Amino acid sequence: MTMDTLLGCAGLSAGYGSMAVVRELDLHVARGEVVALLGANGAGKTTTLLTLAGQLPPLAGTVLADGKPTKAPMHERCRTGLSFITEERSVIMGLTAKENLKLAGVPTAAATALFPELEPVLNRPAGLLSGGEQQMLTLARALARRPRALLADELSLGLAPIIVRRLLTALRQAADTDGVGVLLVEQHVRQALRFADRVYVLNRGRLVLEGPVADVQSQLGAIEAAYLAGAAAEPDRPEPTAALATPVAVPNGPAADTEKEQQDDERPPGGEQGSRVRLRQRLRPQRSRRDREAAGG
């Protein structure tokens, strides 16, 4: 961790009631970094983001903001430069795109400067926008407020690869140009790794791998096989740490459009409906309206 650390955690256990689903997690995101948090369905990614955002209290350990421990709730964190895009679409469907921006206090010009694609649809109800346009609106709303740190949970759920690239490009630019620190949970693993600087991989709530993307590229095949593809479907199998001892070469580097990657990109992200239902359930008792508005970016 450096002076530039915007958000992170040390020895964090997180979960629901007294049940920890994330254990002993150390993680940090520095200014200008895009960091990918990966893991199979149920690995604890959303729980981690909720806890880092101040939405769930930690069961143990410390959440860090600007390198210092914090217990501030999410609405306070949002006032001091945090933005959290949850996996639920957070635009208000009955309002136009322009009204959604106005409600968030974001000038239309600032949003269209980030996403010129929104210009022709500004007067359309958000509910009639495509999924990609809705997420551009969400991201424009979040980035136009110039956050210092941004948590994004499956921003590209269910979207076409070309839109995923567009959204991730915008995040990368925000990191490069404005120094935003981005922590990204993404189902499109290979896409995410093209844009990320570093990666953390969770398996059943525990960190099993971390490092710069360049260092873990060679292990990507093993990581996918061990933690990202079948792990959720086979919850009782032994911890597959041995798989990582034998790095599997990935024939094409991150910039190549391989057939495998194409398949990865085209694959419908798993557990969409389940994730959304769970998110709603876990937030219902705790989420105030103010939090929801803040979370929307």
Binding site for ligand ATP (CB under 6 A): 16, 21, 39, 41-47, 271, 275, 278, 281-282
Residue 184 main-chain phi, psi, to 5 deg: -125, 125
Nearer to ligand ATP, 246 or 273 (CB): 273
Q: Both tokens of residue 198?
A: 């570093």
Nearest distance in Å: CB 51, ligand ATP = 9
* Nearest CB to ligand ATP, comparing residues 67 and 240: 240
Find the shortest distance in angstroms from Cβ 41 to ligand ATP: 3
Q: Which is nearer to ligand ATP, 21 or 104 (CB)?
A: 21
Shortest spacing between CB 192 and ligand ATP, in angstroms: 13
The one-character DSSP state at 96 is: B
d(CA 124, CA 231): 41
**Is the CB of 16 or the CB of 116 nearer to ligand ATP?**
16
Shortest distance (Å) from residue 69 CB to ligand ATP = 22
For the record, the structure tokens of 25 come out as 């997690």
- β pairing state of 34-38 and 181-185: parallel
CB closer to ligand ATP, 29 vs 129: 29
Give the span between the Cα atoms of 244 and 260, in whole angstroms: 20
Q: 3-class DSSP state for residue 119?
A: helix
Closer CB to ligand ATP, 158 or 179, in the complex: 158
Tell me the two tokens of residue 230. Answer: 């079948």
Give CA–CA dist 282/285, Å, rounded.
7
Of 183, 160, 130, which Cα lies nearest the Cα of 9? Answer: 183
- At its nearest, how many Å lie between ligand ATP and the CB of residue 84? 14
Contacts of 176 (CB under 8 A, 6+ apart): 32
Counting Cα atoms < 13 Å in the Cβ hemisphere of 293 gives 12
Q: Which two tokens stand for residue 17?
A: 């009631």
**Of 44 and 181, which has the nearer Cβ to ligand ATP?**
44
Alpha-carbon distance 196 to 198, whole Å? 6
Four-residue CA torsion sign, 127, 132, 135, 139: negative
Smallest separation (angstroms) from ligand ATP to the CB of 43: 4
In the complex, the smallest distance separating the C-beta of residue 58 from ligand ATP, rounded to whole angstroms, is 14
